[in-house]
Amino acid sequence: MIVRDIMATKLVTIEPDATLAHAVALLKQHRFHHLPVVRPVQLPTSTDDVHGKSRNGLTFEGLLTTTDIDLVAALARQHPAQGQQPWQERRVVEVMHRALIRVTPTTSVAAAAQILVERGLNYLPVVEYSHLEQGSQALLVGLVTRSDLLMAFARAMGTFEPGMRLDIELPMGSSVPLARTLLLAAELHVPIRSIMAAPLVGGVPSSAALRLGTINPGPLLLRLQEEGIHYSFGSSLVEGNGHV
Amino acid sequence: MSNRISQQHARLMFDQSECRYYFGPDHPLNPRRIQALMDLLACGGLWDSADERTRLDGRAATLDELGLVHTPEYIAAVQRLSEPETQTANERRSSSAQAVSKEEPETQTANEQRSSSAQAVSKEEPEPEGLSEEERREREELALRYGFGEGDTPASPGLHEASARIAGGTLVAMSAVMGLPEGGVFASEDERPLHIFHPAGGLHHAWSDRASGFCVYNDVAIAIAHVLQASEAKVLYIDFDAHHGDGVQRAFYDDPRVMTVSFHETGRYLFPGTGDVLEMGRGSGYGYSVNIPLEPFTEDDSYSEAMDALLSQLVTAFAPDILITQHGCDTHAWDPLTHLSLTMTGILAQMKAAHQLAHTYCNGRWVALGGGGYDLYRVVPRAWSLLWAEMSDQQAPAEMPEEWVQRWQPEWLATQAQDVAVQQVMGNVVPPISFPTTFMDRAQDFPPRPRRWPISRTNRHTVGLVRHLLVPGSVRQAFPSPRTRSPLAGLFDLLHMNKASTPSRSKTLDTSAGSLLLRDFCPPSLVERLRPDSGLKAFARLPEREHHLLLNIAKSPDCALTLAHTTTGEIVGEVTIAPADEWWEGIDNLYEVAIQVSTNWRRMGIARNMLAFSLELDALEDMILFAIGLSWHWDTEGARISVYRYREMMVRLFASQGFAEYPTTEPNVSMEPANVLLARIGKRVDQRAASQFLSRLLNSSNLAHF
């Protein structure tokens, strides 16, 4: 999975010359905590573009967060200076930060997740680099937030598909039982909605959790038993009759 | 048969063509079970297919009717995938504008097996020929896209026709009970059936654009959608199948006119994996999807306890016009596909509960459907015969008819070895290898489960959570749950510690619409003499039911009821004070306050006066009082204000009595920003109890338990 698959592309943005008052209105209206700051730009037609039309793009200038605005507002209240411009009329470009930590659409979701966690961020701008007249420019194409990642995680676990859960024991981290289970599932036409076999401790997975799109696992379970593959159809279910 | 008193009010719908809903001899859902059922009904003298007074004829649903729930693309795909194979590719092209492809190889083998088996439903299916590669691929793509691709719900010839027939049957049944034109014409209102049983129905897993879990067209959702379209009715759907009724829940997830209630085995491991308590509906349908996920190996007692604790309260609060129930009997201990461990006793309890609800709340209007049930010969025929006997007020005999057992036992024996093996790999206790000869189960065949106690305890927690989240406060107070630990003292003693005043006080309140009498500690005798005002319906939705609730509250020794009534005896407002529910267990002297004023008597300051009056208590400073405002119970339409304005109004009302707003992680309150928790901690309240309360407010650990 790459960032392109999970990023939000319908973005609410603001231009650098807009006022903070406008930014506050947008943030309140959408209940957001951050706004990407962009400048519209005409992209040169690429040679392989059949229609020859010029495309519009957005160059990414920075990010404006509610924290940035709070800080400005608090400072203005603390030092009320005569004749100074009220903070609401200040320009976005004066307050925003450059948000230099960015990802591209082809960054892997795992890498994006790691950046979010390590840097303690809630969102990452997704940009593409393009050569324009004024040199290389970052074009904003999307935004990845923690909730996008959560949705991607839930989807990867098969949560949104009807199905049942089956755990396969992987003794000594061997993937053979899992591979044989998958072969059997294919043979019996049992659709697989999701497979999770992540190492929790010691770098070796001890079990794999499958989500199977079937209401009738009996035939598959019979074959698993025949082949001596240890499974649990819910550890809490097993009443001492030998599985796992 | 023994008695046929009101049998003419119950009808059964069955047609041989419904048995064409068939996926092959090795498939768990086998129409033989319906045939065994019909045979048992005939042998037992419970139903005579020739008797027109107890029979209702169905028809196939039209494409428009199917389209009430399913997308046109899906319906077209089902039609294409169930094209008979007798047509050649050219004929098919000419008969349909869209290119159609032939049967895929997997289903071919299934068909061959089918024609070789001795099934009564077998059809003539010649070998397909001349499959072009392109056609086959297109067909496979369709099957994959719409949920027929693999395993559970294979495409087969005639599937569309059989499914549409079943959907039409349920639609006609519901229309007949509701008195809608599609239900047919009856000689007189007296002949209109009140209860209809449609054993082939109940295909509750189908999605709007996907076949799932043996279900192609969602007959339940289609019939409900038809009723919603053709009338103003509110529909209550109760799903007793061991699998979550996900398709029906999805279809009406944001619709407040349909309440779906599903009792099922938890989706932690079992298909379809959904059905958590917190799936409660969306938008204006919030609070109208109810899920009770039960532990694997739940037995009769715990199951009945869950039903008893919830059904009446939910139905009282919803006030439906018609009841539709799905009676999947895969809840039985012998069923090979699930882990629930009911016997016929528990299954009969479902039916009796449904019957009683239909008569108490829906004027008897009740449609019952079949559903799951994969112990084809030992469970399904018995369970659904009992259902029909219950609906038609007949007494099923104790013993199974001899000739029926003779006929069907051999068929069961042939499949029995496979059953035992499947039971074992599913982690079930292997059932005794015997064929039942009585309608009810024998206790000795069902030894108690080893983990009975923890299972019941977990189920009790689940029920408590559902009660807490989905039953409005004052309805809940009218159905007090049996307490294991009585509160510190009886409320009455606590409220009247000096014992000096008379139990019930009264006060006159002058309003612009006339003077009102306020009375606290209203005894049941007083409530009986009074009538509810027509606008008093915030909790039970109908004034008569509200009256019934008030009576129950007055009878409860733990509750204090304050009423405002006119001089002519019409109740226009109420305040109830009752011990907090299970959620708050362990906190002493904690009471929940609920208040409502008739819609006809708003904006006269009645609420404020009534609240002040009911809180003139000697023990006020010894109590922690709280009120929960949930936006989905608010009559914002009647009051013509937004939920946020309503919230402000509530906060102001309670602030006048010293209540303050507290932030909380209590799941219901935290679910919507408009919801609010208001509390008043008395001055003499023990420090320990107060801090216990405050920490409980912000401690959602109870939820993690589920």
Question: What share of chain B in percent tops pLDDT 90?
Answer: 46
* B494 and B571 share one domain: yes
* Mean pLDDT, residues A87-102 taken together: 88
- Nearest residue, CB atoms, B271 vs list A162, A241, A243: A162
Catalytic hit among B205, B355, B565, B633: B205
- Residue A112 covered by a domain: no
Q: Tell me whether A218 touches chain B (CB under 8 Å).
A: yes
Question: Which tokens belong to B453?
Answer: 């106690």
* B557 and B438 share one domain: no
Q: Give tens-digit pLDDT for B96-136.
A: 444 334 444 444 444 444 444 434 344 444 445 556 778 88
A66 Cα to chain B: minimum distance (Å)? 20
* Closest residue in chain A to residue B28, using alpha carbons only: A216
* A45 and A132 share one domain: yes
Do residue A189 and residue B106 have CB atoms under 8 angstroms apart?
A: yes
- Number of domain units in chain A: 2
- Residue B523 covered by a domain: yes
* B112 and B212 share one domain: no
* A60 and A172 share one domain: no
- Residue A83 covered by a domain: yes
Amino acid at A52: G
| Structural domain span for residue B430 | 7-23+31-55+194-463
Question: Can you tell me the ipTM of this complex?
Answer: 0.73
**Which of residues B490 and B190 earns the better pLDDT score?**
B190
Q: Tell me whether B270 touches chain A (CB under 8 Å).
A: yes
CB proximity under 8 Å: A 147-176 to B? 158-159, 162-166
Single out the residue in B406, B433, B463 at which a domain terminates: B463
* B536 and B623 share one domain: yes
Question: What share of chain B in percent tops pLDDT 70?
Answer: 87
Name, in order, each residue with C-beta under 8 angstroms of A125's C-beta and a sequence gap of 6 or more: A36, A60, A63, A99, A102, A103, A140, A142, A143
Computed over every residue of chain B, the mean pLDDT equals 84
* B238 and B374 share one domain: yes
* B110 and B246 share one domain: no
Q: Tell me whether B150 touches chain A (CB under 8 Å).
A: yes
Out of A40-54, B225-239, B324-338, pick the least confident. A40-54
- Nearest residue, CB atoms, A237 vs list B149, B243, B296: B296
Residue B131 has what pLDDT? 62
- The DSSP result for B102-121, as a single string, is ---HHHHHHHHHHHHS--TT
- Residue A21 covered by a domain: yes
Selected residue of A161, A181, A182, A216 to mutate for chain B interface (largest B Cβ count, 10 A):
A216
Task: Indicate whether B211 pLDDT > 70.
Answer: yes
Question: Which tokens belong to B439?
Answer: 């309608």
- Residue B647 covered by a domain: yes
Residue A46 has what pLDDT? 59
- A162 contacts in chain B (CB < 8 Å): 205, 212-213, 246, 271-274
Task: Indicate whether B703 pLDDT > 50.
Answer: no
Residue B148, Cβ neighbours under 10 Å: how many? 26
User: Taking each helix axis from N to C terminus, what angle separates A218-226 and B402-425, rounded to the nearest 10 degrees?
Assistant: 50
Query: Does residue B205 have an active-site annotation?
Result: yes
- Residue A70 covered by a domain: yes
- The CATH number given to whatever domain includes residue A210 is 3.30.70.260
Task: Indicate whether B84 pLDDT > 60.
Answer: yes
Q: Tell me whether A242 touches chain B (CB under 8 Å).
A: no
- Residue B470 covered by a domain: no
- A218 contacts in chain B (CB < 8 Å): 28, 336-337, 422, 425-426
* B457 and B547 share one domain: no
- A243 contacts in chain B (CB < 8 Å): 427
- The CATH number given to whatever domain includes residue A80 is 3.90.1280.20
Q: Tell me whether B386 touches chain A (CB under 8 Å).
A: no
* A25 and A96 share one domain: yes
CB proximity under 8 Å: B 204-223 to A? 205, 212-214
* Closest residue in chain B to residue A222, using alpha carbons only: B425
* B257 and B208 share one domain: yes
Virtual torsion, Cα A158, A159, A162, A167, nearest 10 deg = 60
Nearest-angstrom CA–CA distance, B336 and B420: 8
- Nearest residue, CB atoms, A233 vs list B152, B272, B427: B427
- Residue B244 covered by a domain: yes
- Using pLDDT thresholds of 50, 70 and 90, give the confidence band for residue B689: confident
* A15 and A131 share one domain: yes
B508 Cα to chain A: minimum distance (Å)? 48
Strand ranges of the sheet holding A34-43, from the earlier edge strand across to the other edge:
A34-43, A55-65, A135-145, A123-132
Out of A210-224, B279-293, B494-508, B671-685, pick the least confident. B494-508
* B263 and B141 share one domain: no
Q: Tell me whether B673 touches chain A (CB under 8 Å).
A: no
Q: Tell me whether B109 touches chain A (CB under 8 Å).
A: no
- Residue B301 covered by a domain: yes
- Number of domain units in chain B: 3
- Residue A68 covered by a domain: yes
Q: Give tens-digit pLDDT for B301-326.
A: 999 999 998 999 899 888 899 999 99
- The CATH number given to whatever domain includes residue B254 is 3.40.800.20
* B698 and B612 share one domain: yes
* B444 and B552 share one domain: no
Out of A177-186, B106-115, B255-264, B622-631, pick the least confident. B106-115
* Mean pLDDT, residues B439-464 taken together: 87
- Nearest residue, CB atoms, A222 vs list B243, B270, B421: B421
Q: Tell me whether A222 touches chain B (CB under 8 Å).
A: yes
Residue B478, Cβ neighbours under 10 Å: how many? 27
* A132 and A191 share one domain: no
* Mean pLDDT, residues B433-439 taken together: 88
- A188 contacts in chain B (CB < 8 Å): 151
* A88 and A19 share one domain: yes
- B429 contacts in chain A (CB < 8 Å): 239
Contacts 24+ apart (CB under 8 A), B73-79: B73/B209, B74/B146, B74/B208, B74/B209, B74/B210, B75/B160, B77/B142, B77/B145, B77/B146, B77/B148, B78/B146, B78/B155, B78/B159, B78/B160, B78/B163, B78/B211, B78/B216, B78/B217, B79/B160
* A100 and A177 share one domain: no
Do residue B271 and residue A215 have CB atoms under 8 angstroms apart?
A: yes
- Residue B420 covered by a domain: yes
**Which of residues A18 and B453 earns the better pLDDT score?**
A18
Phi-psi region of A210 (alpha: psi -120 to 50; beta: other; left: phi over 0): beta
Q: Tell me whether A191 touches chain B (CB under 8 Å).
A: yes
- Residue A95 covered by a domain: yes
Do residue B296 and residue A211 have CB atoms under 8 angstroms apart?
A: no
Q: Give tens-digit pLDDT for B144-160.
A: 888 887 678 888 888 99
Alpha helices by DSSP H, B194-284: 219-230, 246-251
Q: Give tens-digit pLDDT for B558-587.
A: 788 899 999 898 999 999 888 888 778 778
- Residue B654 covered by a domain: yes
- Residue A237 covered by a domain: no
Nearest-angstrom CA–CA distance, B238 and B340: 17
A197 Cα to chain B: minimum distance (Å)? 17
B171 Cα to chain A: minimum distance (Å)? 26
Nearest-angstrom CA–CA distance, B497 and B474: 25
- The CATH number given to whatever domain includes residue B675 is 3.40.630.30
- The DSSP result for B119-164, as a single string, is -TT----PPP----HHHHHHHHHHHHHTT-SSTTS---TTHHHHHH
* Closest residue in chain A to residue B336, using alpha carbons only: A218
Do residue A221 and residue B271 have CB atoms under 8 angstroms apart?
A: no
- Residue A62 covered by a domain: yes
* A24 and A132 share one domain: yes
- Using pLDDT thresholds of 50, 70 and 90, give the confidence band for residue B686: confident
- A240 contacts in chain B (CB < 8 Å): 450
- Nearest residue, CB atoms, B336 vs list A218, A225, A234: A218
- Using pLDDT thresholds of 50, 70 and 90, give the confidence band for residue A2: very high
Do residue B337 and residue A243 have CB atoms under 8 angstroms apart?
A: no
Nearest-angstrom CA–CA distance, A53 and A46: 9
Q: Give tens-digit pLDDT for A192-204.
A: 999 988 877 777 8
- Nearest residue, CB atoms, B273 vs list A165, A221, A240: A165
Nearest-angstrom CA–CA distance, B611 and B502: 19
- A211 contacts in chain B (CB < 8 Å): 273
Strand blocks (E) in B413-483: none
- B149 contacts in chain A (CB < 8 Å): 191
Q: Give tens-digit pLDDT for B370-409.
A: 999 999 999 999 999 999 999 999 998 899 999 999 999 9
- Residue B76 covered by a domain: no
- Using pLDDT thresholds of 50, 70 and 90, give the confidence band for residue B497: very low
* A89 and A15 share one domain: yes
The residue among A37, A63, A59, A52 whose CA lies nearest residue A132 is A59
* B491 and B455 share one domain: no
**CA distance to A172, B269, B401, B420, B488, per residue, from A224 (Å):** 19, 17, 40, 16, 56
* Mean pLDDT, residues A54-59 taken together: 80
* Closest residue in chain A to residue B154, using alpha carbons only: A189
- Nearest residue, CB atoms, B426 vs list A189, A211, A221: A221
Name, in order, each residue with C-beta under 8 angstroms of B371's C-beta and a sequence gap of 6 or more: B201, B202, B203, B204, B239, B240, B241, B326, B327, B328, B329, B330
* A84 and A33 share one domain: yes
Task: Indicate whether B255 pLDDT > 70.
Answer: yes
- Using pLDDT thresholds of 50, 70 and 90, give the confidence band for residue B511: confident
Q: Tell me whether B151 touches chain A (CB under 8 Å).
A: yes
Out of B6-15, B236-245, B440-449, B694-703, pick the least confident. B694-703
- Residues B534, B558: contact at Cβ < 8 Å? no
* A220 and A169 share one domain: yes
Out of A27-31, B487-491, B492-496, pick the least confident. B487-491
Out of A233-237, B109-113, B223-227, B228-232, pick the least confident. B109-113
Single out the residue in B431, B463, B495 at which a domain terminates: B463
Chain A to chain B Cβ contacts (< 8 Å): 93
* Mean pLDDT, residues B25-35 taken together: 91
- Nearest residue, CB atoms, B214 vs list A211, A215, A225: A215
Beta strands B590-597 and B506-511 are: unpaired
- Using pLDDT thresholds of 50, 70 and 90, give the confidence band for residue B424: confident
| Structural domain span for residue A77 | 8-104+127-140
